[in-house]
Amino acid sequence: MIHILVTGGAGFIGSEFVRSLLASRPGVRVTVLDKLTYSGVAANLAPVAGHPGYAFVRGDICDPVLVDEVMAGQDAVVHFAAESHVDRSIAGAEEFVRTNLTGTQVLLDAALRHGVGRFLHVSTDEVYGSIATGAWTEEQPLAPNSPYAASKAGSDLLALAQHRTHGLGVVVTRCSNNYGPYQFPEKLIPLFTTRLLAGRPVPLYGDGHQVRDWLHVSDHCRALALLLEGGRAGEVYHVGGGTELSNRELTGLLLAATGTGWELVEQVADRKGHDRRYALDGRKIREELGFEPRVRFEDGLAATVAWYREHPQWWQPLLERAALE
Ligand SMILES: NC(=O)c1ccc[n+]([C@@H]2O[C@H](COP(=O)([O-])OP(=O)(O)OC[C@H]3O[C@@H](n4cnc5c(N)ncnc54)[C@H](O)[C@@H]3O)[C@@H](O)[C@H]2O)c1
């Protein structure tokens, strides 16, 4: 039986990972460690609440005593817990430094002490900065622009250093923008979808020509499951979605999917230091592990909008939470 500690498992991607792992791997034991910050939602894990292989611990990854306790007996760690929203890091970076850097180091130290075999550190394409043409390989030097991206870049380096210095079985993943159900309604797709469904205006940053690559959360979690077993320690792997869209193009698709029009789009001042384009070269994970994203963007987006349309009881209480903090 394999025991996996999942940090940040009540968030968007972590909860998809936990739900899909418990559904597909008989005998696996999953312990979620999550502080339930504003973006941690207990309801995301309701579908697995009665599963015999599942346990939930509410707590902070920066708490070394608690982390030491939950690390005992684990075979692997999948580390999602982070402050994850760029705009919040621009408003105040302190919590990003605490959770993303200190919290990651606390986990790495406990994993080493307890002889954990595998530490999957989930990171982002934003650590590279911005790229006008072409795509980054895993060898690209880091040049983060936002405090969020800088804190993630730092945590990647701490994780890799724990491998090089102490031999911990670290694998770092860097993925593009995820979308899908259960995403907190502060990120572009759920923010715009929930607002448009309610007939409310949406804010488009600057000229809207910032380009992002989109990855369905289920494809991301499938890649993580492959890397958990087959990723080489000390290596970085990209997980891209293969669908590049400008924010303006994506807005057009969301207007069409919700049956609304451009009169609901308000052009607002651009985000400070806004990266123009991200693009990942996904050859390494394809060649080593045969990973390809499966969800066609049009299908994934339609299903995502439908999910938000059908689950207002999930997102309506979160709108207030997003606005208050
Ligand atoms: N969403 C994306 O498009 C995307 C893209 C690339 C990388 N990532 C990375 O993937 C990971 C998960 O992202 P997400 O979108 O699911 O984020 P999220 O904000 O939805 O979830 C983060 C989770 O971490 C928990 N958490 C935060 N601080 C904590 C702490 N100190 N101790 C314990 N738990 C804490 C929160 O309660 C929440 O459940 C993050 O590391 C993020 O940087 C996300």
**Ranges of CATH 3.40.50.720 domains, the chain:** 3-178+213-239
User: Residues 196-199: contacts with CB within 8 Å, 24+ apart?
Assistant: 196/254, 196/255, 196/258, 196/260, 196/264, 197/258, 197/308, 197/309, 197/312, 199/260, 199/264
With the CA atoms of 189, 228, 54 and 308 taken in that order, what torsion angle do they form, in degrees rounded to the nearest 10?
A: 10
Helices 104-113, 64-71: inter-axial angle, 10-degree rounding: 40
φ/ψ (deg, to 5) at 33: -115, 115
For residues 200 and 193, what is the distance between their CA atoms, to the nearest angstrom?
Answer: 10
Structure tokens at 177: 């923008």
Ligand 1 atom with minimal separation from the 99 CA: 31
Asked if residue 184 has its Cβ within 6 Å of ligand 1, the reply is yes
For residues 125 and 161, what is the distance between their CA atoms, to the nearest angstrom?
Answer: 19
For residues 180 and 303, what is the distance between their CA atoms, to the nearest angstrom?
Answer: 8
Active-site annotation, residues: 125-126, 148
- 190 touches 183 (CB < 8 A): yes
Ligand 1 atom with minimal separation from the 177 CA: 3
Structure tokens at 306: 């439908």
Classify 31 as helix, strand or coil. Answer: strand
Probe residue for ligand 1, chosen from 5, 7, 13 as the CB with the greatest number of ligand atoms within 8 Å: 13
Nearest to 232 by CA among 171, 181, 175: 171
- 48 touches 76 (CB < 8 A): no
The residue behind tokens 């550190």 is 121
How far, rounded to the nearest angstrom, does the alpha carbon of residue 177 sit from its chain's CA centroid? 8
Asked if residue 81 has its Cβ within 6 Å of ligand 1, the reply is yes
| Burial of 311 (C-beta count, 10 Å sphere; 0-12/13-18/19+) | middle
Classify 8 as helix, strand or coil. Answer: coil
Probe residue for ligand 1, chosen from 5, 12, 186 as the CB with the greatest number of ligand atoms within 8 Å: 12
For residues 123 and 255, what is the distance between their CA atoms, to the nearest angstrom?
Answer: 30
Ligand 1 atom with minimal separation from the 9 CA: 39
Please name the fold of domain 3-178+213-239: Rossmann fold (3.40.50)
Q: Is the pTM of this model over 0.95?
A: yes
Q: What is the pLDDT along the chain (325 residues), one digit of tens a residue?
A: 799 999 999 999 999 999 999 999 999 999 999 999 999 999 999 999 999 999 999 999 999 999 999 999 999 999 999 999 999 999 999 999 999 999 999 999 999 999 999 999 999 999 999 999 999 999 999 999 999 999 999 999 999 999 999 999 999 999 999 999 999 999 999 999 999 999 999 999 999 999 999 999 999 999 999 999 999 999 999 999 999 999 999 999 999 999 999 999 999 998 998 999 999 999 999 999 999 999 999 999 999 999 999 999 999 999 888 764 4
Superfamily of domain 185-212+243-276+297-324: UDP-galactose 4-epimerase, domain 1 (3.90.25.10)
**Ranges of CATH 3.90.25.10 domains, the chain:** 185-212+243-276+297-324
